[in-house]
Amino acid sequence: MARRNNIWANLDWVTITLYLILIFMGWVNIYAAVYNEEHSSILDMTQRYGKQLIWIIAALIIGFTIILVDSKFYVFSAYGFYIITILLLIAVLLFGTQVKGSTSWFQIGGIAIQPAEFVKFTTALALAKYLSSYNFKMHQFKSLVTIGIILALPVMLIFLQNDTGSALVIGVFILVLFREGLSGFVLFLVFIVALIFILTLVLSPLHTIFTITGGALIFHYFMQQKLTETIKALSIYASFTALFLFGGHILKIALSDVNLVLAATILSSAIFAVYSLRKGVHNLLIVLGLYLGLVFLTFSVDYVFNNVLQAHQQSRINELLGIESDPLGVGYNVNQSKIAIGSGGFSGKGFLNGTQTKFDFVPEQSTDFIFCTVGEEWGFIGTTTVIGLFLFLLLRLIALAERQRSTFSRVYGYSVACVIFFHLAINIGMTIGLAPVIGIPLPFFSYGGSSLWSFTILLFIFLRLDASRAEKLSH
């Protein structure tokens, strides 16, 4: 009994209080988003706000149950939970129900369950389990391959469900790896790849290659600190490019300008590689490899964009980047969302007085676009308060993660913070037009049992681990 009392005393009640405030505010805003005068009671179980109350009560029971379970159970069962959700992801592909083009739901009576929501906490557990194993070393090839498999398996299965948003969430775990010793160069490389992806969509492949080459030459200069060497490299590249372009046109070679420039790029790189080997400057070989990889990436982007992404996803990205403008089509949700948030002004229109909300101008306003209701009815004060509460929660989670004695608990704690941060940033980014619309719910706010339950499990497992931080967790 004394030990059980210590658990409750050791719980971080600040985080629990923040959790309770957020789910209460979410419930109230769901009520405002889908308010029906004929069903004005917030306890009306025929409406979404009544159903959300059931999800909230169930979430509180789940959280309470998680706290009662010994913390070592989560360490011992980490891989088991992960395998179960992987099997569920496979099962939903075979037996799931298609909702809005995504085959990612199990329909059980009147309840719809989305396994992809729960894979977030099980992947976090599996990652924490592996990173805390006794023989783990971050920079070993075997370790990196194993981490890659742990993360790639759910991503691929979720992509097959046509649920891009949930798949992208798994990618945020790279921030956890960075905290545990992964080289910052990997993060830099991820940023560069994302930048090249965007540039290839905005610019032509030819201009993208020239931009990459310019960046590589600048990087070459900072590595060597020799302006003459960089000028020589530029001269060789420019000479071969001009030769291939003009020669191709004069000889009427049946190759496009892009392919001619690519040939010049490969030949120039081969000469640079030989030069680097003769001079013993082996780090330039790494730069050359990355440079060629980014150049070839420009050609794969079009394939991925046109053959992997769905038509509506392509349109949303084009709308976001300004390549297309369709305010009455794919851009409708975001435009109405921005109107709703902007119309709220400083203090908002008041509870249940949002015109954009009341007349259903913004689709999915109780789920993915719940933040619009906050902006319209509570204004700048309300949106700042909500964002402030989330930031306080994130800072609190990072502080709790840093005080853990167990590697398992620390890794899991950072995973929780990263997942919530990604959802927060992308969801709010969607509503104000800074991120593509990819179906990411706002944690603890958006309507839905799967989302609320998964975030509750994610958070409360960490709170249980933190309450037992003085104990030694065996791996």
Instruction: Give the integer Cα–Cα distance in Å for 60 and 74.
Output: 19
Instruction: Give the integer Cα–Cα distance in Å for 187 and 396.
Output: 24
206: helix, coil or strand?
Answer: helix
- Tell me which residue of 227, 208, 209 sits closest to 218, measured CA to CA: 227
Four-residue CA torsion sign, 457, 458, 464, 465:
positive
Sequence-ordered list of residues with C-beta below 8 angstroms from that of 212, at least 6 positions apart, any chain: 196, 291, 294, 295, 298
The distance of Cα 262 from the centroid of its chain, to the nearest Å, equals 33
Region of 439 on the Ramachandran plot (φ > 0 left; ψ -120 to 50 alpha; else beta): left
Mean pLDDT for back-to-back runs of 10 residues, the chain (475 residues)? 67 96 93 81 84 94 94 94 94 81 74 87 95 85 90 90 83 89 79 79 80 84 76 85 84 77 86 78 75 81 68 63 56 76 84 72 75 89 94 96 93 96 91 80 89 95 91 60
Asked whether the beta carbons of 151 and 170 are under 8 A apart, the reply is yes
- Tell me which residue of 55, 119, 52, 132 sits closest to 84, measured CA to CA: 119
Q: Cα separations (Å) of 71 from 13, 77, 78, 244?
A: 17, 10, 11, 66
Q: What is the pLDDT of residue 330?
A: 55
What does the chain come to in residues? 475
176: helix, coil or strand?
Answer: helix
Sequence-ordered list of residues with C-beta below 8 angstroms from that of 375, at least 6 positions apart, any chain: 340, 341, 342, 344, 348, 382, 383, 431
Q: What is the pLDDT of residue 311?
A: 67
Q: Cα separations (Å) of 248 from 207, 251, 271, 384?
A: 18, 5, 21, 59
Q: Cα separations (Å) of 181 from 130, 151, 170, 193, 413?
A: 14, 17, 19, 21, 16
Q: Which two tokens stand for residue 258?
A: 């892009």
Cβ neighbourhood burial of 294 (10 Å; 0-12, 13-18, 19+) = buried
AA letter at 252: K
